[in-house]
Every structure is written in C-alpha cells, then in structure tokens.
Structure 1
Amino acid sequence: MDDKEVLSASSEWLSKDKSLLDVAAMANNGVDLNDKKTADGNYIYSATGAVGEVVCSTPPTPGERVFASIRISGGKPNSQALKDLIREYTEKLKNSDHCSY
C-alpha cells in the first residue's frame, strides 16, 4: 500500500437554487461543464469524476438539495465506470440518514 488517495466520494447539502451545472463547476469535482451528461440530465461525468443530484426520499429541508460527487486521482480512468458508480452512490444515499435530520 502506498498511502495515496485514488478515489474519493462525498455528498453535500447545497442551496436549492444550485444546479447540477453549478456543482460540476466547483473546484476539485473532476468534471467540467463540457463533460458527458446522461440523457435524463441527472448526472455529469468524465474519466476523472462524476456528480449527481441525490433525490432524497425525505428531503433535508425545503431550501436545500443534496449532491454527490466522486473523483479519481490515479488508477485507470474510465468514464463508464464513473457513470455507473455515481448512479449507484446517489441511489444508496437517497434513503440514507444523510438525506434527513
């Protein structure tokens, strides 16, 4: 083990007026506004990162939305793998304690 971070995942509550594009534009997300978007518009992904909105079963507050992001900084970049991973990650988060108080 070399103690180097290769993959990181996070989720955060942001103001309801933030869009997926706003989150993609944030530094350190590993994606940019010109990366691939899913047909449903719920995810933006590349070979180095992905972001998606978490549609919480019980939203945290009326004024907030939850977004998830995954970034890689090594290994073998793979945009299809990150697309699949962000979908699974947001699905797991939507019923988690992170989506409610």
Structure 2
Amino acid sequence: MTKDHRYIYSNTGAVGIVDRPNQGAPKDKLFASVRVTHDDATESDMQKLITAYTESAASPKECTGKGRQTARKGA
C-alpha cells in the first residue's frame, strides 16, 4: 500500500482511487482495478500500472465525458 493509502498492489493486481475533482459528493469514490494473469509482473510494475491507469482515468476528458462522441437522438 502506498503511504497516502490511494493504491494497494501485489504482483498479481492493484486497486487505486481515481481523483475526480468537481465530480459528485466527496463520499462518492471511483476505484480502478487491474489484474494480470502471468507470473512475471512485480509489485513495482503493478504500482506503476495502477498509478498511470488512475491518472489517465481522472483526466477531464475521461471523467467528464468531454471530447467523447455521444449518440444522437434518432440515430
């Protein structure tokens, strides 16, 4: 677990809290998780992966939906 308690990881998986500024009430947390099925990953690899994944998921484009195409009515 990281010192700030945002990430927990092992050599087979990891979970992290996605920081979503201005999104919902403070109690509404979004978690990201990753899992690997091969045995050559290390805890360090998983920490890097979950950190990059949660940072990417927290980007304004992903968190707010801006920049994504939406279905049009009647399409």
Query: Which protein has the bigger strand share?
Result: 1
**Radius of gyration: which is bigger?**
2
For residues 25-55 of structure 1, the C-alpha deviation after alignment (integer angstroms, 9 at most, x for no partner) is xxxxxxxxxxxx0111110000000000001
Please list every run of 5 or more consecutive structure 1 residues that lacks an aligned counterpart in the other structure.
Answer: 1-36
Please list every run of 5 or more consecutive structure 2 residues that lacks an aligned counterpart in the other structure.
Answer: 66-75
Stretches of 4+ aligned residues off by more than 4 angstroms: none
Aligned residues: 64
TM, length-normalised to structure 1: 0.55
SS of the counterpart of 2:29?
strand
What value does the CA root-mean-square deviation take over the aligned residues?
Answer: 1.8
TM, length-normalised to structure 2: 0.72
Report sequence identity in percent.
34
Are 1:87 and 2:65 an aligned pair? Answer: no
Cα distance change of structure 1 residues 96 and 70 upon mapping to structure 2, 3 Å threshold: farther
Report the Cα distance in structure 2 between the residues aligned to 1:88 and 1:99, rounded to whole angstroms.
15
